[in-house]
Structure 1
Amino acid sequence: MMAVDMVEEAGFEVVEAADAGQAVELLEKHLDIRIVFTDIDMPRGLDGIRLAALIRDRWPPIEIILTSGGFPPKPNEMPERGVFFAKPFQPEQVVNEMHRMTRAIS
């Protein structure tokens, strides 16, 4: 919930998914999604690393931000152009990265 509030307060429109399967469904329906912010630890099915790989494969232009309170991903697990923030992260750092990503997309 904190991440959703943080992103909305920064002026971004949020589409929230309960798990990776729902995230994929939303990506299939909402072709205007440009950034995915996901935790590595996710319930049911795919974890955030596998979700990021799937996104990079199916929707290459989408920017990806990963977070985790556990271990950071190994360099070979990070998606191309992906960014990782360890928890607890500084909200302004994540928001600044999202703004940078949107400028790069434009």
Structure 2
Amino acid sequence: MEQAADSRKVTVLVVEDEALVRLSAVALAEDHGFCVHEAADAEQAIAILESCPEIRIVLTDIQMVGKMNGLELAAYAHRRWPPLKFIIVSGEVAPSPQDMPEGSRFFAKPYDASAVGRALCSMV
């Protein structure tokens, strides 16, 4: 399993409303050596981002319960915290590159865990 040289110093926020999928994504990031926070929706994610300035990467689903979807979360977070990097996933929607913050990566669900792991490591 690939692990970025500095991944243990990098914190990832996983945003996913489906608990089992979120658990799997958290385990994936941890297996690649990242520190991980998790949120069940965009509102919770924003609260975590506000209180945890060490977060560098956000892995978010697009379709989520709540007032804001994952693309809206990514756009908001990118405006507020420009250095953040994003991995966006969805089983239903394939966004165009202009719908995502610059430098974001998209993976269709079910995604290849090794490909997402490599993408995380490449963002360090």
Please classify the TM superposition score into its range, dividing by the shorter chain length: over 0.9
- How many angstroms apart in 2 are the aligned matches of 1:22 and 1:71? 22
Q: Is the 8 A contact 2:62 2:93 kept in 1?
A: no
Matched, 1:91 2:91: no
- How many angstroms apart in 2 are the aligned matches of 1:75 and 1:65? 12
RCO (CA 8 Å, sep 6+): is it higher in 1 or 2?
A: 2
Offset at residue 80 of structure 1 (A): 1.0
Q: Is the 8 A contact 1:56 1:80 kept in 2?
A: no
C-alpha RMSD of the superposition? 0.8
Q: 3-state DSSP class of the match of 2:35? A: coil
Given residue 15 of structure 1, which amino acid in structure 2 is its aligned partner?
H
Match of 2:59 in 1: 37
Q: TM-score, normalised by structure 2?
A: 0.79
- How many angstroms apart in 2 are the aligned matches of 1:88 and 1:18? 18
Offset at residue 8 of structure 1 (A): 1.0
Offset at residue 50 of structure 1 (A): 0.2
Give the % identical residues.
45
* Greater per-residue helix proportion: 1
* Greater per-residue strand proportion: 2
Given residue 111 of structure 2, which amino acid in structure 1 is its aligned partner?
F
- How many angstroms apart in 2 are the aligned matches of 1:28 and 1:6? 24
Which runs of 5 or more residues in structure 2 are unaligned? 1-22
- How many angstroms apart in 2 are the aligned matches of 1:89 and 1:100? 17
Q: 3-state DSSP class of the match of 1:45? A: coil
Number of matched residues?
102
Structure 2 counterparts to residues 17-28 of structure 1, below 5 A:
17-28=39-50
Offset at residue 76 of structure 1 (A): 2.4
Match of 1:51 in 2: 73
Q: TM-score, normalised by structure 1?
A: 0.92
Which runs of 5 or more residues in structure 1 are unaligned? none
Q: Which runs of 4+ in 1 moved over 6 A?
A: none
Q: Is the 8 A contact 2:107 2:116 kept in 1?
A: yes
